[in-house]
Structure 1
Amino acid sequence: MPEPVVITRPLQQAEAFARQVRVTGREAVVFPLLNILPLEDDALLRAALSRLEEYALIAFVSPNAIDAAFRCRAQWPHGLTIGVVGEGSRKALAAHGVDERTATIVSPKNPERSDSETLLAQLDLAALRGRRALIIRGESGRELLADSLRTAGVEVEQVAAYRRTAPVLDAARSAMLNRMIDSEAIWVVTSSEALRNLVSMAGALQRPDGTATLLQRRLLVPHSRIEDTARQLGFMHIERTGSGDEQMLAKLQ
């Protein structure tokens, strides 16, 4: 039997990918390493979304940002310029009815690397100079996109659309984590923050070898930055797949 696959994305995204993994004949275990929660106060987000036509660029940092924004405003005007950093975000936009027929969507061209740096390389910064950009993100995150746009003379507004928390390691999750560590499962991890949460959880288990055993497991990551984090944390078997579910599934097969 092939090794089980542990999918660590936030719950809704994890369930969708788990269904694809099961079609390939593998066992898929959903073990989220991040909770995506609504804001306690979304007034700033709603205010920004009420004036979308004022922005020359609307950039989303993740599918979660897209889903949260569309929960606040379901109908978007046509003709916007929207920046995204990965194939998952393109699919999230399409699920809400936004694609190349209704908007100009800018995203990285290299499937091996999708991040703020490669999105910036695709933007026409000269055309954006002196104009306004909106970045929709979580409560915290990298500042590179905003800082680079400001350096290029763009007026940037950032608004939070959701908040991230680490799941509580209760008795049931501890038992599941122990089973997965001992099963030689393949771990699919799609964010550096989630990876750090995983190592922290392993260290909190009531076993002296929890972290050391975890670090020997096979790890699939979509991006070089997550790969770098994994090496810094001590993982020994890391494979980078590139952006998108298709490449992750191809690696599993």
Structure 2
Amino acid sequence: MSEFVVITRPSAQADVLAQRVTELGRKAVIFPLLEILPLDDQEPLRRALRELDQYALIAFVSPNAIDAAFSARPDWPWHIPLAVVGEGSRMALLRHGATEAKATIISPTDLDRTDSQTLLAELDLPALRGKQVLIVRGETGRELLGDTLRAAGVGVTPLAAYRRIAPELNNAKRSELKRLLSCQNDWIVTSSEGLRFLTEMVAQLDEAGSVAKMQQQRIIVSHVRIAETAQLLGFPNITLTRSGDDGLLAALQSCS
């Protein structure tokens, strides 16, 4: 069995999964590969969220988008339908009081792949034609959802709610990464961008064999796009799971 389960989510989203990993009898280590920061200027976000009644649908691309939006506007207008791409986002909505009884929530029904593409399959595009949709996201991200909606005649407004940056490879982070590479671990990776940051950090260690040691680790991912990124980066030991924490935990148990 691998020694540690390394959870690479941003810090604010890692604790619940770490607790569930511990309940399986495994040792969890939180090693974030992305830092989620508020926008330098919050006023455009607050202003846009005060004008939500013009939209027929509000789509959130991530739990971070949900947390940022609900923090900026606690008095949320529940009559506007909400769309999310994954189980993590559904749980984030629930933390902010968005139950099925209170709000219309649209999300992919195929839990083996949850992303913008499978969300689009659930949306009634003809009904949205000529209407306005707000997409709450980070400063950067994939354009598939917005581009497809526009092509269907839907008005799309992207709204930046947070920003993502690579974590600083300081002395503490460097020491922790060296410790993790000294043994075989299971790495739960939920972001292609984060995985690329990880390989860059490993390359900066300036130690012979660090890259090879990293590539020998088991990578557990919940989306085919992350699996493809891992393959391109030279990871041969990749486990692809269904969406959500339950899928990740099931993969851990099967790897034990």
Pair in the same fold by TM > 0.5: yes
- Matching of residues 43-122 of structure 1 within 5 Å: 43-122=43-122
1:27-50 deviation digits (Å, cap 9, x = unpaired): 100100000000001222112211
Over 3 Å off, 4+ runs: none
Identify the residue that residue 213 of structure 1 maps to in structure 2: 213
Tell me, in whole angstroms, the C-alpha distance in 2 between the residues paired with 1:7 and 1:171. Answer: 20
Identify the residue that residue 140 of structure 2 maps to in structure 1: 140
Identify the residue that residue 234 of structure 2 maps to in structure 1: 234
1:89 counterpart letter in structure 2: S
Identify the residue that residue 154 of structure 2 maps to in structure 1: 154
What SS does the corresponding residue of 2:112 show, helix, strand or coil?
A: coil
Q: Offset at 1:201?
A: 0.5
Contact map agreement 1:2 1:26 (CA 8 A) in 2: no
Tell me, in whole angstroms, the C-alpha distance in 1 between the residues paired with 2:38 and 2:16. Answer: 20
Tell me, in whole angstroms, the C-alpha distance in 1 between the residues paired with 2:47 and 2:193. Answer: 29
What SS does the corresponding residue of 1:36 show, helix, strand or coil?
A: strand
Tell me, in whole angstroms, the C-alpha distance in 2 between the residues paired with 1:78 and 1:155. Answer: 21
Alignment: residue pair count: 253
1:250 counterpart letter in structure 2: A
1:56-98 deviation digits (Å, cap 9, x = unpaired): 1100000000000011001212221111000000000010001
Tell me, in whole angstroms, the C-alpha distance in 2 between the residues paired with 1:46 and 1:89. Answer: 21
Using structure 1 for the length normalisation, give the TM-score. 0.98
2:195 is the alignment partner of 1:195 = yes
CA RMSD of aligned residues (A): 1.0
2:12 is the alignment partner of 1:18 = no
What SS does the corresponding residue of 2:121 show, helix, strand or coil?
A: helix
Q: Offset at 1:208?
A: 2.1
Could you tell me which runs of 5 or more consecutive residues in structure 2 were left unpaired when the two chains were aligned.
Answer: none
Identify the residue that residue 185 of structure 1 maps to in structure 2: 185
What SS does the corresponding residue of 1:122 show, helix, strand or coil?
A: coil
Q: Offset at 1:2?
A: 4.8
Tell me, in whole angstroms, the C-alpha distance in 2 between the residues paired with 1:75 and 1:215. Answer: 47
Tell me, in whole angstroms, the C-alpha distance in 1 between the residues paired with 2:222 and 2:88. Answer: 11
2:224 counterpart letter in structure 1: S
Contact map agreement 2:18 2:29 (CA 8 A) in 1: yes
Could you tell me which runs of 5 or more consecutive residues in structure 1 were left unpaired when the two chains were aligned.
Answer: none
1:9 counterpart letter in structure 2: R
1:86 counterpart letter in structure 2: G
2:249 counterpart letter in structure 1: L
What SS does the corresponding residue of 1:167 show, helix, strand or coil?
A: coil
